[in-house]
Amino acid sequence: MGRVIVDFSKCTGPVKPLNGVNNGPVGVNNVRGVSNAEAYKAANIPFGRLHDSAFSSYYGGEDSVDVHRIFKDFDADVDDPASYDFAPTDAYLRTFEAVGTEIVYRLGAAIEHNRKKGTLVPKDYLKWARICEHIIRHYNEGWADGYTLGIRYWEIWNEPDCRNADGSNPCWQGTEAQFADFFETVAKYLKSCFPALRIGGPAFCNMHEPVDRYYLSEFQKRGIQLDFISYHRYCDCPEDFVRYVRDSNAIFAEYGYGDTEKHLNEWNYVSGWLGEVWKQSLRDEKNLKGSSFVLSCICASQYEDVDVLCYYDARPCTMNGLFSSDVLDILKPYYAIKMFGDFRKYETSYALEADAHLFGAAALNGAEGGVLFSYFDNDPTAAPMPVEFTVKNLPGKYRADFYIQDETRDLELVRSDVLSAEETTIYLTLKDFTSYQVKLTAI
């Protein structure tokens, strides 16, 4: 018997924006009649991080987002609007307005496994920073026939610590010392230009690597005051995800960044990166197991020291578990993102305790509230689990409507119960990877 216990006398803070993603909607202008904009908007996605955007023709392709794609000739005049090719990125960024999602702009380059261009060491760090300054002014201050999009979050670089299986780095072609110098120059310059904006990074790939301690040590010694610190995680169980968050937070605190806003802005289910295991990971990212993993990690993070999550990836690609890459049909994990998107309207989080392999979150906003929970056990022989679902200390009587996601149903209403103000226990049986969205309404 597993237990999920919700206590509405114990407030745990605001519901956080944890159902963010990488990249934006497709087909806002209904290109060829193929679009996921309506479904994207319905999921109430708080943040869309711009990374690897240039890999998709839907987002402007090879001319979009990345610094070297906008400013194509590094020897050009940094102050001349003619040196910049903004048009493809302009069109992409305007799509976010249609779905109500806030942009996190990653300054740097998409991952480069083959030809290296945007991940080469800039030959002039300050000029690179000034190029970024002009990109920010274009999108926030109207420079060069630009916009006033009010983009708050600007992330410097992506995964300077990344390593391929052969030891090569697809994201930074210089030394670690060079990256520390580069990051210091850019972070301090941009913060001096835009003190009100949130300047952060550097999107660490793996906080278990010693190089990340080196970077954090250098940031601390150089007095780099980040507005947010970003990092990534790919793994195959929610327990590992939670351990990683806690271990990373301990490292951040050790180097003086314990109170810094934390963005875990690339994550997904991956059980291995090579061969058949990799192919199975891609299958699982798109099925019920992937959905349970996503919901479990998001719900667990509601009670951990992490401020923003961005799932990788909403871009049409192999790692998009939300929409099929060809016709953008909705896949199982989309519902996990949408469940938390619905949940965020309840605003205030309350305590939830769960036994092993059960993960959930609870929230209440006056006459409405909700509870999410999922059963995730990586053991392929895991039996269905009887679950004792207990709700305590509601401020009155509430109707509880239970919506299930399993192999054959996607948020289908399967039962309704009345919960007393004091305590109510309901008994359920969950197959592995089953999730519930419980909607509470005062009566």
Summarised one tens digit per residue, pLDDT across range 204-221 is 999 988 999 999 999 999
pTM of the model: 0.97
- Residue range 393-410: mean pLDDT, rounded: 98
On whether both 334 and 354 belong to a single domain, the answer is: no
Among 292, 318, 346, identify where a domain stops: 346
Q: In CATH, what number is assigned to the domain containing residue 315?
A: 3.20.20.80
On whether both 241 and 385 belong to a single domain, the answer is: no
On whether both 323 and 356 belong to a single domain, the answer is: no
Domain residues for 227?
17-346
On whether both 284 and 392 belong to a single domain, the answer is: no
340 within a domain of the structure (yes/no): yes
Residue 336 scores a pLDDT above 80: yes
Among 322, 346, 370, identify where a domain stops: 346
pLDDT tens digits for 265-311? Answer: 999 999 999 999 999 999 999 999 999 999 999 999 999 999 999 99
Number of domains the chain contains: 2
On whether both 335 and 358 belong to a single domain, the answer is: no
On whether both 338 and 390 belong to a single domain, the answer is: no
For the chain, the three-class secondary structure string (H helix, E strand, C coil) is CEEEEEEEEEEEEECCCCCEEECCCCCCCCHHHCCCHHHHHHCCCCEEEECCHHHCHHHCHHHCCCHHHHCCCCCCCCCCHHHCCCHHHHHHHHHHHHHCCEEEEEECCCCCCCCCCCCCCCCCHHHHHHHHHHHHHHHHHCCCCCCCCCCCEEEECCCCCCCCCCCCCCCCCCCHHHHHHHHHHHHHHHHHHCCCCEEEEEEECCCCCHHHHHHHHHHHHCCCCCCEEEEEEEECCHHHHHHHHHHHHHHHHHCCCCCCEEEEEEEEECCCCCHHHHHHHHHHCCCHHHHHHHHHHHHHHCCCCCCEEEECCCCCCCCCCCECCCCCCECHHHHHHHHHHHHHHHCEEEEEEECCCEEEEEEEECCEEEEEEEECCCCCCCCCEEEEEEEECCCCCEEEEEEEECCCCEEEEEEEEEECCCEEEEEEEECCCCEEEEEEEEC
